[in-house]
Structure 1
Amino acid sequence: MNTFIPVILSGGAGTRLWPLSRQSHPKPFLTLPDGENLLQKSLRRAAAIPDVQEILTVTNRDYYFQTRDAYDAVDSREGHRQLRYLLEPTGRNTAPAIAAAAWELQESFGPDTILLVLPADQLVQDLPAFLAAVEKARELAQAGYLVTFGITPGWPETGYGYIEAGEVLMAEGSVLGHRVRRFVEKPDLARAQSFLDAGGYSWNSGMFCLRAGIFLEELANHQPALSRALGQVLSHGRRQDDYLELPQSFAQLPDISVDYAVMEPTQRAAVVAGDFGWSDIGSWSAFGGLLEADAQGNQVVGEVVLEDAQGCIVHSSERLAALLGVEDLVIIDTPDALLVARKDRDQEVKKIVAELKRRGHESHALHRTVHRPWGTYTVLEEGPRFKIKRILVKPGAALSLQMHHHRSEHWIVVSGTAKIVNGDEERLIRTNESTYIPAGTPHRLINPGVIDLVMIEVQSGEYLGEDDIVRFEDRYGRTPA
């Protein structure tokens, strides 16, 4: 049996799930009603496949530590599975990502290695049905097909691409799947309904099963420039214990999906269609479908008072929300942003994100609480010439040795013990103690203890942007080469 390795693709901003999903905390990290996020569920799903000894995650280098933290919260190493990472400097769509994974796994295990490509922003609720589909796809991939997974459509969805099935593919009297007759772009409602009426069409899930060597051959056949450039880029990656960090030149590769690059032009495409409780959680209506509805059809997270409200989706985990005399609204409340939308227009939330980005408003990218390799910081209050943060540093973690040109900082320890470097001085400060960092002074914060270090940081100065930072040394690789 060929080596079989799940490849989790974790990236994308999930703009239709703003304001919970943002560039620095994208959809795979979005916590679902059961307390796990989509990335953790993807890991569990990959680990449930028999004979899997290694799982590769392709993600942005900025999400590496956050991904490891998410995985650490899951019993992911049962069965001695090894976790490896391929880190992109920037996202270039699915074709370069899958090609990089295929190249890396071919180098490690040979061209017959089978990849099961799983986007991390999808939900699968029927695991036995999913595993049965994977077994069929695995057999087809071993026979040389590039297999995509189709989802049996339940309604005339206009937000997904479609796959039309062709010739039946069988083995030992059992149907494994079909050749792909054609891929169809997202249709309008009338065309989607015609697909549903005709039968033989499935939604394009974006999941794949393929042999590394055959995929790379097809990439070379149909995208020769990308194939040649990829080899040059990957040969300059920086390898560490559990990851390969791709060089900045990866950002020069074309931004192209695997469907356009390989799956549509190849003659080797096959589809395994099924119904295994799949959803891409691509809208607030889809998210609401994970919540139990009350007698009036409202689906809520948090403390919510509803009076004469029907069919609303409400997410307000930080404070009380009250609805009176409204219907079919989406209301998503976070500490720094509030979304109110008609439910039938929830696919258009990405327009809000695009406008925020155009304005340069940081809420398109950042939450009030921002994850860093060493922990988190939360902006509590800010105004002209001041900003107040709550900083949490994990045990044994350390901020970079750094300096700011335009701001000074006052640190007060709330709990735990901080080891600080302040210019030429190095000392410990404990609960209720404080220190002052003048602008222009190299400084560092370390948690030498075994519990979380929590501090309040008061910044003051003429400019308080996060880009006013000069790093001299950093254990997380964030200093310039």
Structure 2
Amino acid sequence: MGKIYAVILAGGKGERLWPATLALPKPLLPFGGNGRTLIKATYDRVLPLVGEGNVYLVATRELAELLGAELGLHREQLILEPFGKNTAPAVGLAALVLGELDPAGTMLILPADHRIDDEEAFRRALLAAVKAAEEGYLVTLGIRPTYPATGYGYIEGAEPLFEAEGYVVHRAARFVEKPDHSLAEEYLARGNFFWNSGIFVWKFSRILEEIHRHLPGLAAALAELKSHLGKPTWEAALREAYSRAEETSIDYGVMEKAEKIATIPVSFGWSDLGDWHAIWEVLRRDREDNASVDVEVYGKDATGNLVFSLTPKRVGLLGVEDLAVVDTPEALLVGKRELAQRVREIARGFAEREPDWPELYKLDRNGMLGVMERFPEQCREALARGREVVFPRELSGFERIVVVGMGGSGITGDLLGLAFPEMEVITVRNYVVPRFIGEETLLVGVSYSGNTEETLAAFLDGLKRTKKALGISSGGKLAEICQKQGIPWIEIPKGFQPRAALGHLLFTLLGALEGLGLRAEGMDEGLSILSRMAGELSPRSTPNRAQGLARALQGKVPVIYGAAGTTRPIAFRWRTQINENAKQPAFSAELPELCHNEIVGYELAGGLLPQIIRLFLRTSHDHPRVALRVEVLKEVLRRRRLSFLELHGEGETPLAQALSLLYLGDWVSVYLALLNGVDPTPVEPIAELKERLARESWEPWR
């Protein structure tokens, strides 16, 4: 007998809970009881039954990162879908992956966003279902109806099979679609029809057997995928397999047609919380039947209302009844609670106004999208160029590297630090270098134009302390200084915005430093990931993840959080790219430092700055205590209903994970520019500043 595995399915748009689901996925809404999110309540309910290591989550990458972080799941507990395609492919994928780990295992399928009041009764029902699954049954929990609901599918129960854990297991005669009201009344009166809860239990082998029988497209895709498990080809093979699998629910695709189906009638206070009326029903209400969540409500002649806000505020109700009032930074809903099922119509009405991306692409008059798509190619060309550089022998033998650079050039030094973790690398964004550097230091001047005054001044300052130096630019004064003083200078191509030339700067330098005995850790892995991402995030893959993130940031003020030693420079890059490309405010902060100051500002943030959204940039190499601080910060933010997103680097090495997050942020900033109605390339305020400074002559390099 194998182990029991809980598989939480997270998908769907949550349209009937609009507009709250614009800000938070439905599983992260705070309706799980005792201050918990819905998915945290789901996790807590099943944990005593299966244990921490046997809970898995199936979702798309972006959603899995958010929800997995909420639950504290390890990355191997996230089963990532390339895109959502209903529950049958999700179930099949989980059965394939987990069935390889434990062929004799039993699988609990749990929706991520339901509410259950009697959790002990729920666990006993699952144990009864496990016993039925051991007998070869596909089992579903059927909810005893309390009213003639038309919003659920039904299961007709037949003769009893056996008893277990205080429950009677019945053969399931059939599954029926959502009925009209008169038929729902008939089902309620007959007593052997139950709401389909979407909670299933079966052996891995049994569900795969029935998928093979009833969903041949999905079965063939899973069979082909099996040979790619644990291999680098997995993601590409999975995307191809998903594109060929049937898009259908597990109910319709398998359960309505399969053999040996059982149901267990249960009554443990279940709700799928499918709309605002259902939310109102489960919340505590005052004497006037008004319900609210973390909102100060004062009512006069107001009854039966629901008030929910993602930001703290006072709400006055005067002479109204049975309303749903839902406020988020993005949108406001005011409607009759009895019409809650129709909120989906409003959500879809707004969704039809989705960005016309092909039209928005026309705003990119200077070709930044093309530069973005060619970034991996730029990096490979630069690496080859750098490897052709031959340095004089006296340049070797250094103990640290000091990189002087500003703006899009300065991040080169930050990334060098991730590429060479055993080497001390210091980035200087100033007019002078630290006093302590000497001949044990390799000084690197990085300026795309070669004319950045801070870089030139710092480079000259550094040359007073060390003769081990090199410059990299497309020309300009930096080239003149190097040539005049006999310092190695590496030329890179002209014609780019400095922020768009990072590949030329970084990878040319990485290639050149190989000649001095430094080999970057994770360079090949990073290049491979960048090449894949270029295809996934380019306009040819519309819509894509970067566009989705850009939409999430549209109209917001992003504050990007990075960790010292890993993602701090990537957070800085996100901030500057959003500033320069999207032409809007963005800020960055560093962990753990922000835990000693910025966190206090959360107290009034919701009221003063409701448009702020926080992004945590994370890697598997973050310090364990920093990772813990992130989890605590997220709890603090959730309690205050403050919005945040969480993004994880791809790959294994620090450099690869950093590059993946950096490239994603660059794409997001360009798409955000288009959503803002601007061409991402021009940076007129910077040009104005340089023009004004040029009037005040200051040329210490002459």
2:374 aligned partner? none
Aligned runs of 1:197-346 on 2, under 5 Å? 197-233=189-225, 235-236=227-228, 247-249=238-240, 250-301=242-293, 302-316=295-309, 317-346=311-340
Identical-residue share of aligned pairs (%): 33
Q: Deviations over 1:402-448 (max 9, x none)?
A: 757844577666786899xxxxxxxxxxxxxxxxxxxxxxxxx9999
User: Does residue 1:389 correspond to 2:557, yes or no?
Assistant: yes
Relative distance call for 1:244 and 1:326 in structure 2 (3 A) is same
Relative distance call for 1:413 and 1:61 in structure 2 (3 A) is closer
Deviation at 1:140, TM superposition (A): 0.5
Question: Is the CA contact (8 Å cut-off) linking 1:54 and 1:83 kept in structure 2?
Answer: no
Deviation at 1:51, TM superposition (A): 6.5
Deviation at 1:97, TM superposition (A): 0.6
Question: Is the CA contact (8 Å cut-off) linking 1:332 and 1:339 kept in structure 2?
Answer: yes
3-state SS of paired residue (1:227): helix
1:3 aligned partner? 3
1:426 aligned partner? none
Q: Deviations over 1:177-220 (max 9, x none)?
A: 11111111111111111111111111000110001111111111
Relative distance call for 1:414 and 1:204 in structure 2 (3 A) is closer
Relative distance call for 1:174 and 1:196 in structure 2 (3 A) is same
Q: Deviations over 1:258-310 (max 9, x none)?
A: 01111011121110111111110101111112322111111122022211111
Question: Is the CA contact (8 Å cut-off) linking 2:39 and 2:112 kept in structure 1?
Answer: yes
Structure 1, unmatched stretches of 5+, are 363-370, 383-387, 420-444, 454-470
Distance 2:96 2:102 in 1: 10
Instruction: Give the AA of the match of 1:338.
Output: L
2:81 aligned partner? 88
Deviation at 1:26, TM superposition (A): 1.6
2:140 aligned partner? 148
Q: Which has the higher contact order (CA 8 A, sep 6+)?
A: 1
Question: Is the CA contact (8 Å cut-off) linking 1:4 and 1:51 kept in structure 2?
Answer: no
Instruction: Give the AA of the match of 1:280.
Output: D
Question: Is the CA contact (8 Å cut-off) linking 1:127 and 1:276 kept in structure 2?
Answer: yes
Question: Is the CA contact (8 Å cut-off) linking 2:128 and 2:165 kept in structure 1?
Answer: no
Q: Deviations over 1:92-143 (max 9, x none)?
A: 1111111111111111111x21101111011112111111111110011000
Distance 2:335 2:345 in 1: 12
1:29 aligned partner? 28
Instruction: Give the AA of the match of 2:659.
Output: E
Q: Deviations over 1:228-275 (max 9, x none)?
A: 1232245446669xx989732224422100011110111211101111
Question: Is the CA contact (8 Å cut-off) linking 2:157 and 2:193 kept in structure 1?
Answer: yes
Instruction: Give the AA of the match of 1:215.
Output: I
Distance 2:115 2:346 in 1: 25
Distance 1:282 1:185 in 2: 17
Question: Is the CA contact (8 Å cut-off) linking 2:559 and 2:588 kept in structure 1?
Answer: no
Question: Is the CA contact (8 Å cut-off) linking 1:5 and 1:55 kept in structure 2?
Answer: yes
Higher relative strand content: 1
Distance 2:591 2:297 in 1: 35
1:468 aligned partner? none
Distance 2:8 2:287 in 1: 38
Question: Is the CA contact (8 Å cut-off) linking 2:114 and 2:272 kept in structure 1?
Answer: yes
Deviation at 1:318, TM superposition (A): 3.0
Instruction: Give the AA of the match of 2:152.
Output: Y
Distance 1:446 1:258 in 2: 34
User: Does residue 1:188 correspond to 2:374, yes or no?
Assistant: no
Instruction: Give the AA of the match of 1:167.
Output: E
Distance 2:107 2:165 in 1: 25
Question: Is the CA contact (8 Å cut-off) linking 1:87 and 1:246 kept in structure 2?
Answer: no
Distance 2:166 2:593 in 1: 64
Question: Is the CA contact (8 Å cut-off) linking 2:562 and 2:589 kept in structure 1?
Answer: no
3-state SS of paired residue (1:13): coil
Question: Is the CA contact (8 Å cut-off) linking 1:238 and 1:247 kept in structure 2?
Answer: no
Question: Is the CA contact (8 Å cut-off) linking 1:378 and 1:390 kept in structure 2?
Answer: no
User: Does residue 1:15 correspond to 2:8, yes or no?
Assistant: no
Relative distance call for 1:273 and 1:213 in structure 2 (3 A) is same
Distance 2:285 2:184 in 1: 28
Instruction: Give the AA of the match of 1:247.
Output: L
2:660 aligned partner? 474
TM-score normalised by the chain length of structure 1: 0.76
Deviation at 1:394, TM superposition (A): 5.0
The CA RMSD over aligned residues, in Å, is 3.7
Structure 2, unmatched stretches of 5+, are 357-544, 595-616, 634-656, 668-702
Aligned runs of 1:342-357 on 2, under 5 Å? 342-357=336-351
Distance 1:173 1:298 in 2: 39
Distance 1:210 1:136 in 2: 12
Distance 2:35 2:231 in 1: 33
Deviation at 1:336, TM superposition (A): 2.3
User: Does residue 1:116 correspond to 2:115, yes or no?
Assistant: no
Distance 1:290 1:267 in 2: 36
Question: Is the CA contact (8 Å cut-off) linking 1:17 and 1:282 kept in structure 2?
Answer: yes
Question: Is the CA contact (8 Å cut-off) linking 2:562 and 2:590 kept in structure 1?
Answer: no
Relative distance call for 1:109 and 1:309 in structure 2 (3 A) is same
Deviation at 1:85, TM superposition (A): 1.4
Q: Deviations over 1:2-49 (max 9, x none)?
A: 321111111211111111113x73211112263211111111112121
Question: Is the CA contact (8 Å cut-off) linking 1:238 and 1:245 kept in structure 2?
Answer: no
Q: Deviations over 1:455-478 (max 9, x none)?
A: xxxxxxxxxxxxxxxx99225995
Distance 2:195 2:327 in 1: 32
Distance 2:88 2:235 in 1: 18
Higher relative helix content: 2
1:467 aligned partner? none
Distance 2:618 2:245 in 1: 38
Deviation at 1:395, TM superposition (A): 3.5
Instruction: Give the AA of the match of 1:120.
Output: A
Distance 2:164 2:302 in 1: 56
Distance 1:413 1:52 in 2: 34
Relative distance call for 1:245 and 1:134 in structure 2 (3 A) is farther
Relative distance call for 1:174 and 1:20 in structure 2 (3 A) is closer
Instruction: Give the AA of the match of 1:300.
Output: S
Relative distance call for 1:68 and 1:172 in structure 2 (3 A) is closer
3-state SS of paired residue (2:303): coil
Bigger-Rg structure (1/2) = 2
3-state SS of paired residue (1:170): strand
Distance 1:173 1:475 in 2: 49
User: Does residue 1:133 correspond to 2:125, yes or no?
Assistant: yes
